[in-house]
């Protein structure tokens, strides 16, 4: 045993032990008792003491005990330690959910994030001294808040610094990050026999609502090494799940606004929904929603199995507005989560979409695009003309002068910034390619919540053949075949690409034109083209185009001569963002919901909305059980019970008792 503070031992011992012994050698004040004779008592005492070298000390067990206490106390002050063979460090990962649902204020007045931080700090306090702890926060993306450290004070300070976000929750990235860091750091000169991986323990503090828990595969963790602490109890929440603004086809100055609102709680709700246009109240409606779940339904119900009446649509029709502005729906309700009580969307001034159709000749497509019902101004070029056209004909600055360019069976790499719709062809950009023709599959799946398929009966689409598309990993598949995607959407730089794997008309080997699908003969196709062109051109704001999820980066066009722009955030702060080149900016500080304004911006694209619009996040009832990959992990609730080190208090108590004992005895002792 060694001492970090050997001097403290010596000082403490010198100050306390000699006085104690001296006090004991002073005459003890004894109770006087009369006896008939002391003759035999003296003999008895002498008999007991005979041959004893420490006769006075021997009589006092109290003194020996007190000496022992003092010696132990003095040794403790010296910070004793033992040199042992170094044992493996324990690796501990603390994951703290900072998503929007963690902002729910619980009954004790603390937000779930505050509770999680307190419990995480308690967890840190409870760690062994040789544990190395990493703190990771997770919302829409995972962030290492504190790299591996064993300084508990620094770790707790880092935990305190975690801020609330209004983002969704993603476990995939956090799990990947945790697994990556959970591996034992192998030092180059470590003997192979000592390179045993130390088991990492993961503490997850969350309310258990993840969008992607089923995509997580915990290969390196055992279930018992993942300890999930369930935070929170409240379930009363009403959330806006979408806000949609649409101009009338025939009277573009009239706008219809609708919002999908869901009651996630177990009590009926009655509240007002207020419609704002550029922060001015336009209308108010009263909304009544039945409970979203029964009180004993702990896990909540999936979206598809809602009780009738728990989801409502609040519609405001025929609002006369011909300009460009921000529409907001706000629910006047005091519920658990505030971030989902408001939804924004941006509506632009009505104007005809300037469309370029590049086709070798497709009368069906040309006909649809020239219908009066569609507010389109269509220009048609052959592929040859397009490739040969001068920049002046195609470009406005660095962007395409057309709002939407449709390529019918023509793949090209002449793609200035713009919005492109490929039929049976692909943009010649990285990671995108067209493969062999598939003619033996059927349309298998589609996303009918996507704005492009709104009011489109996708189940009626029947196509003879399409190309096997190779698309980037970030591409959103809208319609799927059995083995490949049929309709997909992705963005690159400031351009949008909508790629359809089939053409409406194909040529056979003899060069005859054949219908590849009867779809274009249905009304659905007209609606589809309306949706697609408006989606790409963003003429009418929809939940998909202009609304971003919290934390999702935005790429926005800026004026040609602007070197940097100001982004005015919903929290009244302003960020100065330099141009990323190519007349656009990348902006990522979108953690707060609301409307963001770019100044100076390109007219019509100088405002964007960030909305929560997340069923999982709005369902604030904490999950009892977390399904992670194929594993099911029970979440424990309540406060983390820990064993705080108590030796310091004990030592203090010991010294106090000792002091009191001295005082009491000294009152009875006389010199």
Partner 1 sequence: MAIIDRKAAEELLDPEFMNRLDQLDLVSRKIFAGKMRGERRSKRKGESVEFADYRSYVPGDDLRYLDWNIYARLDSLFLKLFLQEEDLHISLLLDISKSMDWGEPNKGLYARRIAAAIAYIGLVNFDRVSLYAYANGLQYELAGVRGRRLMFKVVDFLTNVEYEGVSNLAAACKQFAIRHPQPGIIMLLSDFFEKGGYETGLRYLLGRNYDIYVVQMLSPEEMDPALVGDLQLKDVEDEDLAEVTISRALINRYMQNLKAYCQSLSEFCTRRGISYFFTGTEVPFDQLILTYFRRRGLIQ
What are the structure tokens assigned to 666, written together?
Answer: 């000294």
Q: Does 37 bind partner 1 (CB under 8 A)?
A: yes
Query: Would you count residue 671 as binding partner 1 (CB under 8 A)?
Result: no
Least distance in angstroms from the C-beta of 20 to partner 1: 17
Q: Which of 44, 185, 514, 656 binds partner 1 (CB under 8 A)?
A: 44
Q: Which residues pair with 498 in a beta bridge?
A: 421, 489
Residue closer to partner 1 by CB (options 4, 64) is 64
CB 529 within 8 A of CB 368: yes
Shortest CB 68 distance to partner 1, Å? 19
CB of 668 to partner 1, least distance (A): 9
CB of 67 to partner 1, least distance (A): 17
Nearer to partner 1, 1 or 35 (CB): 35
Question: Given candidates 43, 222, 573, 636, which one binds partner 1 under the rule CB under 8 A?
Answer: 43
The CB-of-46 to partner 1 minimum distance in angstroms stands at 9
Supply φ then ψ for residue 117, to 5 degrees: -65, -40
Please report how close the Cβ of residue 27 comes to partner 1 at its closest, in angstroms: 8
Rounded Cα distance between 441 and 448, Å, is: 20
Candidate list 4, 20, 23, 31; residue touching partner 1; CB under 8 A: 31
Q: How far is the CB of 29 from partner 1 (least distance, A)?
A: 8
CA 432 to chain centre: 30
- Tokens standing for 361? 């000749």
Which whole-number Å values give the CA distances from 200 to 137, 181, 437, 565, 633, in the listed order? 17, 9, 49, 45, 16
Among 6, 7, 19, 42, binds partner 1 (CB under 8 A): 42
What are the phi and psi torsion angles at 385 (to 5°)?
Answer: -60, -40
Smallest gap from residue 71 Cβ to partner 1 (A): 23
Q: Which one, 60 or 491, has the nearer CB to partner 1?
A: 60
Q: Is 32 in the site for partner 1 (CB under 8 A)?
A: yes
Report 234-263 residues binding partner 1 (CB under 8 A). Answer: none
Size of interface with partner 1, in residues (CB under 8 A): 21
3-state secondary structure 377-446: EEEEECHHHHHHCCHHHHEECCEECCCEEEEECCCECCCCECEEEEECCCECCCCCEEEEEECCCCCCEE
The yes or no reply on residue 33 touching partner 1 (CB under 8 A) is yes
Bridge partner residues of 358 (DSSP): 381, 407
In 49-170, where do the E strands start and end? 80-81, 90-97, 131-138, 142-149
Segment lying near partner 1 (by CB under 8 A), choices 25-33, 307-315, 370-378, 542-550: 25-33
Over the window 46 to 85, marking each residue x when it contacts partner 1 by CB under 8 A and - when it does not, the resulting string is -xx----------xx-------------------------
Among residues 317, 346, 314, 309, the alpha carbon closest in space to that of 332 is found at: 314
Closest CA to 4 of 97, 75, 109: 75
> In the complex with partner 1, which residue's Cβ is closer, 48 or 185?
48
List the one residue out of 202, 205, 226 whose CA is nearest residue 162. Answer: 205
Interface with partner 1, residue 45, by CB under 8 A: yes
Instruction: Please say which residue, 49 or 573, places its beta carbon nearer to partner 1.
Output: 49
Closer to partner 1 by Cβ: residue 43 or 222: 43
Q: Which stretch binds partner 1 (CB under 8 A): 41-49, 407-415, 530-538, 637-645?
A: 41-49
What CA–CA distance (Å, rounded) separates 24 from 12?
19
The residue assigned the tokens 């048609």 is 380
Q: Is 38 in the site for partner 1 (CB under 8 A)?
A: yes
| Of the candidate residues 10, 24, 28, 432, the single one contacting partner 1 (CB under 8 A) | 28
Number of Cβ within 10 Å of residue 190's Cβ equals: 11
User: How far out from the chain centre does Cα 97 lie?
Assistant: 7
Query: H/E element holding 46?
Result: helix 39-49
Alpha helix stretches (DSSP H) within 78-139: 112-125
Interacting residue with partner 1 among 1, 39, 107, 180 (CB under 8 A): 39
Q: Which residue lies nearer to partner 1 by CB, 57 or 301?
A: 57
The residue ranges that bind partner 1 (CB under 8 A) are 28, 30-45, 47-48, 59-60
């Amino acid at each position: 045993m060694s001492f970090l503070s050997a001097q403290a031992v010596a000082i403490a011992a010198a100050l306390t032990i000699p006085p104690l012994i001296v006090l004991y050698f002073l005459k003890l004040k004894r109770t006087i008792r009369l006896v008939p004779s002391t003759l035999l008592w003296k003999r008895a005492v002498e008999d007991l003491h005979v041959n004893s070298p420490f006769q006075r000390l021997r009589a006092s067990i109290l003194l020996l005990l007190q000496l022992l206490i003092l010696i132990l106390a003095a040794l403790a002050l010296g910070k004793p330690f033992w040199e042992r063979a170094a044992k493996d460090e324990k690796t501990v990962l603390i994951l703290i959910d900072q998503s929007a649902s963690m902002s729910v204020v619980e009954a004790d007045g603390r937000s779930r994030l505050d509770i999680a931080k307190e419990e995480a700090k308690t967890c840190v306090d409870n760690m062994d001294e040789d544990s190395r702890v990493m703190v990771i926060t997770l919302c829409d993306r995972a962030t290492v808040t504190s790299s591996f450290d064993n300084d508990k004070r620094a770790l707790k300070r880092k935990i305190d610094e975690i801020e609330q976000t209004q983002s969704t929750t993603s476990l995939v990235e956090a799990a990947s990050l945790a697994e990556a860091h959970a591996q034992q750091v192998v030092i180059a000169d470590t003997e192979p026999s000592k390179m045993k991986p130390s088991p990492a323990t993961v503490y997850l503090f969350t309310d258990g609502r993840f969008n992607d828990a089923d995509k997580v595969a915990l290969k390196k963790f055992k279930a018992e090494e993942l300890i999930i602490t369930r935070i929170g109890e409240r379930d009363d929440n009403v959330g806006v799940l979408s806000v949609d603004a649409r101009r009338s086809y025939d009277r573009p100055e009239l706008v219809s606004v609708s919002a999908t609102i869901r009651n996630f709680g177990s009590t009926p709700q009655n509240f007002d929904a207020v419609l704002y246009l550029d922060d001015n109240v336009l209308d108010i409606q009263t909304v009544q929603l039945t409970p979203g779940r029964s009180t004993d339904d702990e896990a909540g119900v999936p979206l598809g199995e809602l009780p009738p009446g728990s989801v409502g649509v609040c519609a405001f029709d025929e609002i006369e507005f011909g300009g460009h502005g921000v529409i907001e729906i706000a629910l006047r309700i005091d519920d658990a989560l505030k971030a989902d009580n408001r939804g924004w969307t941006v509506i632009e001034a009505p104007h005809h979409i300037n469309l370029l159709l590049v086709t070798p000749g497709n009368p069906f497509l040309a006909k649809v695009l020239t219908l009066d019902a569609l507010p389109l101004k269509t220009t048609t070029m052959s592929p040859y003309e397009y490739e040969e056209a001068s920049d002046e004909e195609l470009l406005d600055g660095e962007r395409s002068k057309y709002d939407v360019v449709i390529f019918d069976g023509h793949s090209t790499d002449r793609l200035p910034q713009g919005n492109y719709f490929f039929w049976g062809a692909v943009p010649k950009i990285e990671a995108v390619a067209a493969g062999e023709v598939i003619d033996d599959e059927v349309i298998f799946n589609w996303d009918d919540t996507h704005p492009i398929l709104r009011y489109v009966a996708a189940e009626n689409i029947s196509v003879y053949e399409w190309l096997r598309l190779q698309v980037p990993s970030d591409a959103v598949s809208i319609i799927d075949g059995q083995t490949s995607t049929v309709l997909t959407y992705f963005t690159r730089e400031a351009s949008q690409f909508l790629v359809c794997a089939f053409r409406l008309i194909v040529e056979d080997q003899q060069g005859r034109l054949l219908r590849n699908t009867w779809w274009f003969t249905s009304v659905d196709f007209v609606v589809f083209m309306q949706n697609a062109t408006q989606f790409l051109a963003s003429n009418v704001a929809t939940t998909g185009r202009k609304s971003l999820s919290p934390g999702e980066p935005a790429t926005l066009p800026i004026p040609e001569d602007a070197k940097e722009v100001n982004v005015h955030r919903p929290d009244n702060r302003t960020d100065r963002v330099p141009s990323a080149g190519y007349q656009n900016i990348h902006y990522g500080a979108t953690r707060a919901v609301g409307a963001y304004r770019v100044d100076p911006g390109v007219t019509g694209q100088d405002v964007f909305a960030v909305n929560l619009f997340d069923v999982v996040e709005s369902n604030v009832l904490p999950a009892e059980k977390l399904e992670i990959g194929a594993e099911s992990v029970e979440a424990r609730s309540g406060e983390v019970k820990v064993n705080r080190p108590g030796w310091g208090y004990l030592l203090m108590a010991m010294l106090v008792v000792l002091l009191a004992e001295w005082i009491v005895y000294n009152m009875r002792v006389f010199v």
